[in-house]
């Protein structure tokens, strides 16, 4: 299916944390480990999203501090649904109806994001995130350390591999999202939940809602 002639972009790549949903999933899990762990993990996440430190340096450290269980990741999946951006479901549906290809590319945990993706009408091959592993008792057993999405610049490699129809628009709030810019035709900084000035400064567009996204893609 090709995009309608009036669509400004044939493809849209969406971040998840603080874009589709108003939470940072790993930070949310850290809150279950008390205020000290929560503060430390949130600080690492924020610095990585601002581009102050590479995500590569803190991804595994954050999960090692938390060691989320399968049940907790299931709880996070429910939290994503509750924190979804206003209008996101309807806007994504209208984009897809217009023939725009929508992909979710996230540094979050795939097992937590998958139910949200399905709620948005995005099938499994439209979701790209980091897999987490559990043992037979549901305890944390690691994550996919080979995933480029656990690195600062890895989203660009994932987007390039998708060979999306052009022109393509990437949307996100953090420095790891801005890293997609060389792999797409334009980047929109999403500020509906958090505004990171360095990301906005390098973006082609600034949007604060999914209604604004729809207007940008389907003018």
Return the active site residues: 15, 17
Residues 181-192 as b or e (16 or more Cβ within 10 Å = b):
bebbbbbbbbbb
CA atoms of 68 and 74, how far apart (whole Å): 10
Residues 6+ apart with CB under 8 A from 137: none
**SS3 of residue 188 by DSSP:** strand
CA atoms of 165 and 159, how far apart (whole Å): 11
Which pair of tokens denotes residue 179? Answer: 């890293």
């Amino acid at each position: 299916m090709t995009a309608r002639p009036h669509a400004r972009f044939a493809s849209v790549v969406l971040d998840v944390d603080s874009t589709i949903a108003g939470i940072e999933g790993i930070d949310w899990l850290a809150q279950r480990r008390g205020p000290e762990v929560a503060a430390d993990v949130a600080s690492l996440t924020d610095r990585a999203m601002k581009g102050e430190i590479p995500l590569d340096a803190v991804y595994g450290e954050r999960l090692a501090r938390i060691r989320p269980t399968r049940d907790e990741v299931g709880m996070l999946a429910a939290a994503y649904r509750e924190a979804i951006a206003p209008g996101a479901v309807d806007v994504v549906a209208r984009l897809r109806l217009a023939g725009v290809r929508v992909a979710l590319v996230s540094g979050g945990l795939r097992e937590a994001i998958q139910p949200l993706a399905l709620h948005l009408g995005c099938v499994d091959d439209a979701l790209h995130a980091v897999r987490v592993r559990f043992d037979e008792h549901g305890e944390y057993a690691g994550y996919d350390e080979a995933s480029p999405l656990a690195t600062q610049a890895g989203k660009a490699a994932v987007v390039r591999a998708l060979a999306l129809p052009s022109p393509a628009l990437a949307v996100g709030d953090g420095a790891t999202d801005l890293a997609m810019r060389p792999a797409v035709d334009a980047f929109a900084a999403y500020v509906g939940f958090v505004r990171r000035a360095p990301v906005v400064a390098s973006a082609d567009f600034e949007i604060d809602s999914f209604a604004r996204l729809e207007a940008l893609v389907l003018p």
